[in-house]
Structure 1
């Protein structure tokens, strides 16, 4: 894109990845926008739980501003927001509805809502929970950037009145995720915070397989698992694994397991960043099934789908080492060609030009 843009992003956090996946997503996107010559300012509410866990306090690829409350945002940074070419408000921003109303009222440039939690957002709207987005606000944003693609995009436009809902999947950083020569510690691993809806499929597709395969080594990494869960003798537990150790974790596995949240399965077309990160490391993925997964990876040649413990056992015992490496490399090539942070930056530029073009055409129509 030839034109340099002044971009303002109001997001949950870019300075701390503690307890959220937003930070790494924002970091990759903003870094690539900066590489493309754009000036980015990130406005983040200064809250205690991120203040005490900042793992990127100084962002070299954008200007980061911490503000204390809505009033400070309105009084100190109105001019910045008003004159930006593009203003993006992310999901889960504190007082997100008020922030969105403020932004869409004063911004002269294009405004966008960046939904990193689309299935959750729509479920909240259905039950009247307007924590960070209100149905009346959606049509006011020029663009709805959704982590979920497929039929959900039509729903956002038709049911909620978005002028333009576009798929804007998560991404990975190829400078951080790549194959490494690492001693293999586990035959199958899983990385994810505990959730009630993910535990049954994790039990069925992975832990039950561990019980049947006493000679194989398994690992589950992530916090908040109840003490009541029984872990087999061949299942290692890692309570917390910071992002800096994710690459080594994936490279230490023969296969990695992907388990999807129920609301993401219901929506479909909602790839997790863990899928892209694992694939980037060349680690073959065994995943549960959801609509649209075949639009991300080709089933059986780039990803393996498990619907039962028998499927998982089969993959761990019958897939040859040569097949395993081929599957992992094919998935790696797919994400390198379609799902890096650089691809997302280019997509954002494309969506921006599309919306600007529509606005110009509409204005010309009115004037004529």
Structure 2
């Protein structure tokens, strides 16, 4: 089956946290025989900051950030069996959805794939005339990369025919154990861009513990933190290329996952970073969110902190031997249950069952 997928970017992870998710899942679907073309706009300097070349398993069409170019690429939806419009594409999202639905053939499976469900649902609840809210009745399926029952129930209450979470996972081809790299030596590392929905939690879970533990070293990677006040034992290294993520994850004694506030409040929303770190065999400390035990077992495969003091206490009592054992158990767990191959199996079944219903409805 042919998939026309309209998303933010698959060739650039620059200010694009969904890239890892797209790559892992679409690669696994391509291996199952799907013929995929990914359409992405040339915005936010992503094309100037590509971290991969267009992959052999997925066609990539980059279009100019103009309405004319958008209408040209959405016309190609007419040739697809499955048409996907993702959230947060970054250029004329409402118009993109309208044009995708206008051009998709009646027999095609029409999907909205939400990679930030808490933010999207907040918009929909606040605007009865929102383009997506009005379009839910035309869609065959809403997929989300997290959220569990709260998100499923919310989408159905707004008119979605069906909503199914497809969680983040591990792509072992790109995230795996590597040798330690002295550039990333630290007791605790955190990698994440400075975002309004995360900054206060980074202060609480990372910068405050660093100030409490002056004899331990902390490593901060990501964009936007240059003018942030931090203690002398924090080494800020700026943007870290995806080619260095494995070394960043595995070299410190432990690495930290800090969810955005909306994701933590909603629960059942493991970030890509959780699986990237586990896939590298890292010892992961994560802030608490409901549902974590579905993915990793607390105290054995992951360490869970409810506040900054917990992070400081965990780190103060964590030796390298225990950290290594936790990372090894996490790696075993994600390889056995949480790879994108596992996710693609479930998505393939969804596609095939819903595609049949879509064809029958069109006849």
Task: Show the 5 A alignment for 1:302-321.
Answer: 302-321=301-320
Change (3 A) 1:152 1:357: farther
* In structure 2, C-alpha distance between the alignment counterparts of 1:52 and 1:341, rounded to whole Å: 28
- Give the structure 1 partner of residue 82 of structure 2: 86
Q: SS at 2:219's partner residue?
A: strand
Question: Counterpart of 1:148?
Answer: 146
Distance of aligned partners of 1:129 and 1:196 in 2 relative to their CA distance in 1, 3 Å threshold: farther
Q: CA deviation at 1:23?
A: 2.6
1:109 aligns with 2:134: no
Q: Which ranges in structure 2 are unaligned for 5 or more consecutive residues?
A: none
User: Does structure 2 conserve the Cα–Cα contact (< 8 Å) formed by 1:7 and 1:85?
Assistant: yes
Counting only pairs closer than 5 Å after superposition, residues 25-36 of structure 1 correspond to structure 2 as: 25-36=21-32
Structure 1: distance between partners of 2:87 and 2:80: 20
Q: 1:232 to 1:58 in 2, by over 3 A?
A: same
Task: Say whether 1:217 aligns with 2:214.
Answer: no
The equivalent of 1:192 in structure 2 is: 192
Identify if the C-alpha distance between structure 1 residues 130 and 268 changes in structure 2 by more than 3 Å, giving closer, same or farther.
farther
d(CA) in 2 for partners of 1:182 and 1:57? 26
- Secondary structure in 2 aligned to 1:103? helix
SS in 1 for 2:230: coil
The answer to whether the Cα contact below 8 Å between 2:142 and 2:164 also exists between their aligned partners in 1 is yes
- Give the counterpart of 2:5 among 4, 9, 16: 9
The answer as to 2:161 corresponding to 1:163 is yes
SS at match of 1:286: strand
Q: Which residue of 1 aligns with 2:172?
A: 174
Question: 1:273/1:63 Cα in 2 relative to 1: closer, same or farther (>3 Å)?
Answer: same
- CA positional deviation for 1:76: 6.1
Q: CA deviation at 1:320?
A: 4.1
Distance, in Å, in 1 between the alignment partners of 2:325 and 2:346 is: 29
Answer yes or no: is 1:96 the counterpart of 2:110. Answer: no
CA distance in 2 between partners of 1:333 and 1:130 (Å) = 47
Cα offset, 1:303, TM superposition: 1.3
The answer (yes or no) to whether the contact 1:97–1:130 under 8 Å persists in 2 is no
Evaluate the alpha carbon distance shift between residue 288 and residue 89 of structure 1 in structure 2; reply closer, same or farther with a 3 A threshold: same
8 Å CA contact 2:20–2:272 kept in 1: the answer is: no
Q: Can you give the 5+ residue segments of structure 1 that lack an aligned partner in the other structure?
A: none
Aligned residue number for residue 340 of structure 1? 339
Q: CA deviation at 1:349?
A: 0.7
Of 332-341 and 137-146, deviating more is 332-341
SS across alignment from 1:297: coil
**Deviation of 1:40 (Å):** 0.9
How has the CA–CA distance of structure 1 residues 195 and 43 changed in structure 2, closer, same or farther, with 3 Å as cutoff?
Answer: closer
Deviations 1:67-99 (A, max 9, x none): 334444545653x42232211111123222232
Contact 1:286–1:306 (8 Å) recurs in 2: yes
1:129 Cα offset (Å): 9.4
Name the SS of the counterpart of 1:26 in structure 2.
helix
In the alignment, is the contact (CA less than 8 A) between 1:251 and 1:283 conserved in 2? yes
Q: Is the 8 A contact 1:149 1:168 kept in 2?
A: no
Structure 1: which 4+ aligned runs deviate by more than 6 Å? none
User: Is the 1:124–1:130 contact (alpha carbons within 8 Å) kept by the matching residues of 2?
Assistant: no
Q: TM-score, normalised by structure 2?
A: 0.89
Instruction: Report the counterpart of residue 244 of structure 2 in structure 1.
Output: 245
Within a 5 Å distance, the mapping from 1:114-129 to structure 2 comes to 114-128=113-127
Structure 2 distance, partners of 1:76, 1:274, is: 32
CA distance 1:45–1:267, change in 2 (3 Å) = same
RMSD (Å), alpha carbons: 2.5
Q: Secondary structure at the match of 1:186?
A: coil
